[in-house]
Amino acid sequence: MVDSKLIDHTLLKAYATREDILKLCNEAYKYHFKSVCVNPARVSLARELLYGTDVLVCTVIGFPLGANTSDCKAYEATRAIADGADEIDMVINIGYAKEHNYEAVYQDILAVVDAADGTTVKVILETCYLSDEEIVECSKMALKAGADFVKTSTGFGSKGATVEAVSLMKKTVGDSMGVKASGGIHTYDDYLKFVEAGATRIGTSNGVEIMEGNNNE
């Protein structure tokens, strides 16, 4: 069975219109998803549409490249929360990770965690670009910085979530953090395999299809 409260119903396409966001929020309300995940410019609209429901508003920070300066990411987080965001999904500086400058990765994450001031922060590693060692070390930095989740992917990289990456992240952080699988998760079977691998949240634009696939089982 699908637990709808594990799903972040996601629409991050650059060309998403107001009508698209309305449809997303209506679907999220219908299926009682954990959140909608939208770009920062749509946070206030999503908050308005979902006010008084059990669906949270999630947004993305430093998205999708992660190459913004840390102070810009911190401001983005502060502004998004002021606009009504309940959760923040930030992208690490992937270049720092590839240099193995893990102190810089840590400080970048910490800037957003501090700015979020208790609001849930998920840290996107963009695992398609990282070695296993880099995934482990960046997950450790997210844990050290006090973030709430590590997350696989933006959905805009060369590849989305893999079972191997999710399992490695879960093994690294244990029960101290959540693990969010995102990118390329389209079906009920995809949902199951990532939950079995240790994911405690699923980011997908196919939440309705997953729910309907579950209903057809």
Q: Which residues does the annotation mark as catalytic?
A: 89, 151, 180
β-strands 178-182, 56-61 pairing: unpaired
